[in-house]
Amino acid sequence: MPRPTVNHPERPFSDSQRKKSSQTNTIIRPWRRRPWCRAGLPPDSVYNGAGGGRATAKTYPTAAPIERAYLVAVELKGPPAGGRSFSTQSSLDELALLAETAGARVIGRTAQKLESAHPAHYVGKGKLAEIKAERSHIDYSLVIFDDELSPSQQRRLEDALQVKVLDRTALILDIFARRAQTREGRLQVELAQSEYLLPRLAGQWSHLERLEGAIGTRGPGETQLETDRRLVRTKIGRLKKQIESVRRQRALYRRRRARQGVPVVALVGYTNAGKSTLMRTLSGADVFTEDKLFATLDPLTRRVALPGGRTILLSDTVGFIQKLPTQLVAAFRATLEELEAADVLVHVVDITHPDAALQGQTVQDTLAGLGLAKKPCLSVLNKVDLLTRRDGTPVEGLEELREQTLALGHDRPDALLISAEKGWGLAELLAQVETVLQEGAEVLSTPSSRQDAQRSRPGG
């Protein structure tokens, strides 16, 4: 039987006005046919019941609220253990950039001088009380510490401050999780996050801890904690197997490239030094670039022609940073092995940064820790287009900077001046890469040298 046609009024019927159809004997609810009801909204959210007029629909925000971050650091008294190091304020500035990259808004910071970090709360009791009192003035929702906290320190700080507490390691891991696009990158970040989480599971089930031995109170917290630990360990084992498969696949690609005789040149440097911009300018690749820390994470390789007609494979790798989490170094071993297979490293330094020398030293120390200290390396000082003359006007070419090369290079007098954004000095850079490759080919001209080189290559 055909459905009766109903002329709907300007607003739906009230409960007292519902009408029964004489043909179908069913209750007709006109709002069922309205689009807002199909979306699950009740009529009262669109209409003013008794008033008869159209009301403003109530909306709910779906975007996550921006977290308000408060930064905390400890400045150790006495000379740094390794000689030169970043100042506390420079380190906090970098932490603020990391927080902004992760989507937070920094609303305050503080630092304390100590002989060593407090074993229980990282900062002293007086500074902890000061941080807690500051919340009533600036209403922060997140506290970020500039060093890695132990699991017990993090639990005690969250209990004392009653807000979420993160350390530098967790913040970097969060940024890496946002930036990873490829399957390989996501696997490596997930492994690093799981290894970071494993020793911190104890505090996740404190509400289920065994408080006493009475009937009904035994063991639920311990059972759940052990279950979670087993699941995380299983996940870590599975991720390691998958990453090992990626390593074998990369080794196969490297052996194939070695048979083809195409040299590999890898870009290395501190995060936000301009490696991706240099990669885009030299190769023409559609590389994402942004003036943020760790804007790009996944490695990228493209062919680039040298002035003499020879072709190289140019590889862009993940950037380094001070206090780089050990979990990331271990998890990203498959990616960092690309540096071991490179014939030449190009170390990109942001010459405009106040701590350019310290950033360069951080990269050199990281490369040394990876066993790459003896790898042929070219240093390039990038972003020279942002330098200014003495009168404050910007420079217009490298010719104005030739006399300042030694001063700009600090302890790298052989460094090249370039601007990846403007394209300045790139022809000279490619010519220098070709020269270094030629010198390496002459060194490997003897059969014994070639055999030694093949044995030293990973996967060879």
The mean pLDDT value for 124-135 works out to 93
Q: What is the CA radius of gyration of the chain?
A: 30
Q: Give residue-wise pLDDT tens across range 218-275.
A: 445 456 777 888 888 999 999 989 988 888 887 888 788 778 888 999 999 998 888 9
> Who wins on pLDDT, 54 or 36?
54
The mean pLDDT value for 292-302 works out to 70
* Total-model pTM: 0.73
- DSSP structure string for 413-455: TTPEE-BTTTTBTHHHHHHHHHHHHHHHHHHTTSHHHHHHHHH
pLDDT band at 211 (very low <50, low <70, confident <90, very high): very low
Smallest Cα–Cα separation from 346: which of 269, 277, 267? 267
pLDDT band at 407 (very low <50, low <70, confident <90, very high): low
Query: Given a cut of 80, is residue 427 above it in pLDDT?
Result: yes
Beta bridge partners of 379: 347
> Who wins on pLDDT, 410 or 198?
198
Residue 428: predicted pLDDT: 92
Which tokens go with 292?
């943020």
Lowest model confidence (mean pLDDT) among 5-9, 156-160, 192-196, 356-360? 5-9
Cα–chain-centroid distance for residue 410? 29
Lowest model confidence (mean pLDDT) among 143-147, 276-280, 345-349? 276-280
Is residue 143 within 8 Å of 168, Cβ to Cβ? no
pLDDT band at 408 (very low <50, low <70, confident <90, very high): low
The mean pLDDT value for 274-301 works out to 75
Smallest Cα–Cα separation from 428: which of 383, 378, 392? 378
Residue 187: predicted pLDDT: 87
Lowest model confidence (mean pLDDT) among 41-45, 78-82, 144-148? 41-45
Lowest model confidence (mean pLDDT) among 183-192, 210-219, 343-352, 399-408? 210-219
Residue 290: predicted pLDDT: 62
Strand bridging mode 105-114 / 344-350: unpaired
> Who wins on pLDDT, 78 or 23?
78
For the chain, domains (ranges, CATH) are 68-176 (3.40.50.11060), 262-456 (3.40.50.300)
pLDDT band at 446 (very low <50, low <70, confident <90, very high): very low
Q: Which residues contact 106 (CB under 8 A, 6 or more apart)?
A: 69, 70, 71, 96, 99, 100
Query: Given a cut of 90, is residue 18 above it in pLDDT?
Result: no
Is residue 456 within 8 Å of 328, Cβ to Cβ? no
Residue 111: predicted pLDDT: 93
Q: Give residue-wise pLDDT tens across range 314-351.
A: 988 778 888 887 777 777 776 677 788 889 999 999 99
Quote the CA–CA distance of 188 and 247 in Å, as a whole number: 11
Query: Given a cut of 70, is residue 13 above it in pLDDT?
Result: no
> 258 in helix, strand or coil?
helix
* E strand or H helix that includes residue 131: helix 125-138
The mean pLDDT value for 164-188 works out to 86
